[in-house]
Amino acid sequence: MKKIILSILLSGTVFCAVVAQPGFDGNELQGEFGVTIGTAHYFGDLNTNTSLNRLKPAVGVFFRKQFNNYLGLRISSHYAQLGFSDIYSKNDYQKKRNLSFNTDIWEFALQGEFNFFKFMPNDPAYSFTPFVTLGLGVFSYNPYAYLEGKKVFLRPLGTEGQNIGYAGADGKKRKPYGSMAVCVPIGMGIKYNINQKINLSFQITHRLTSTDYLDDVSTTFIGVDKFDQLPNGQLTTAGLLQDRSYEKGVPIGIEGRQRGWSKQKDQYIIAEMCFSFNISTYKCPSSF
């Protein structure tokens, strides 16, 4: 019996070697686990010219399930920082507006990926491919600014009248915005297999979002008189941060004047290097 089993195993080994495709060692890619490091940038009411002059750090982890040599499904989690200021703008009105923000982003996303070329780790003939990705995700954000050197979170202040139910010219009451939003990642990249276990890739993914308050700016000023004053007659923190043009001279934040552009949602982008480790199973190569 032992001789029979041994003969079968030896026969199977010889068969695999005979019919194997050149470069295919029998390891079939099941998926990848990886880490990413890169930069993030914001586009919105403060960065209307899509400038790329204030890049901030971004890191992430992901798992990619590979269904075949072309299609995969990626689950990822990212941490990124975003921020911008009117002082970087070339627009005179925005410079006078003098608003700024920063925020931390925590993102979880599910993305489909398509390789343009067949991708087979450890096969020199199929070790490189460009790819595209599209998905859906959620992220948390909490914009803040600095006043006299102190960090102040903006959402609780209701800088556009959200906390007092202010209604603008459209008659709609402004409600406080949440700390979570939906994003739609759309991107492309390139992937290269270094060896049987490790891949290196680079990708740029743009995020469309469901919020216009990533930067705490969306619609019109409501006027400084709508905000409470301290007992000594000075403005509260909310009153000071809703219109910071006083720091540049004459305040411009009169009721009804444009503070942001509510017809377009905020967006952000992440460009990153990815290092991944292959998860594979051994399969007897076939001749097909």
Spans of the chain, pLDDT less than 70 = 1-29, 281-288
Residue type at 261?
Answer: W
Residue type at 238?
Answer: A
pLDDT of residue 27: 57
pLDDT of residue 169: 82
Give the CATH number of domain 23-150+168-213+265-282. 2.40.160.20
As a whole number of Å, the end-to-end CA separation of the chain is: 33
pLDDT of residue 29: 66
When computed from its CA atoms, the radius of gyration of the chain, rounded to whole angstroms, is 27
- Rounded to two decimals, the pTM is 0.85
pLDDT of residue 121: 83
- Going from N- to C-terminal start, the domains of the chain cover 23-150+168-213+265-282
pLDDT of residue 146: 97
In whole angstroms, give the CA distance from residue 179 to residue 176. Answer: 10
**Residue 48: Cβ within 10 Å count:** 15
pLDDT of residue 231: 86
Helix (H) or strand (E) run with residue 91 in it: none
pLDDT of residue 283: 58
